[in-house]
Amino acid sequence: MSDRATVLKKLDNNLYEIEVKRSESCVGCSGCGLGGKNAPDELILHLESSRPLQIGSEINVKMKSGTILNAAFRLYLLPLLFFIMGTLLTQLVLNERLAVLVGMVFMLFGIYLAGKSDNSKETVCEEVIDNS
């Protein structure tokens, strides 16, 4: 799926800061780490372009292929891995009664880390070049 974006400024040789207006499909996705119902209507992202872009111009962009898998790992697997790690460590060191409680604390820390990661500093989208 591609979206329209506005080029805001040039950051480096091939790196630009762009503004993408959220579409309705963004509400349930969270693939870029900025989705959800309470997210802003405009997303400020970074884009690597192989050609020079004009500030203020409108371009077509799409999400990079690995971005959704990366977001799924951070949002779902990271807390689960922390839960399992906390539970196993507690069972080895202490007793089983505390294992689930400590696992939950570890899981909350995993959720905190997943929410703390900021995808807006990464290049999460790529330019769609129209050949028409």
Residue 105: pLDDT band (50, 70, 90) is very high
Beta-carbon contacts of residue 74 (< 8 Å; ≥ 6 apart): 33, 114, 117
Nearest CA-CA partner of 49 in 16, 19, 18:
16
Please provide the distance, in angstroms rounded to a whole number, between the alpha carbons at the two ends of the chain.
18
Q: What is the pLDDT of residue 35?
A: 53
**What are the pLDDT digits (tens) for 4-15?**
788 888 887 878
* pLDDT in the model for residue 131: 39
Which two three-digit tokens encode residue 11? Answer: 């950051």
Q: For the segment 64-82, what is each residue's pLDDT rounded down to a tens digit?
A: 666 667 777 777 888 999 9
**Structure token digits, residue 6:** 């506005």
What are 80-103's pLDDT values in tens digits?
A: 999 999 999 998 888 777 888 889
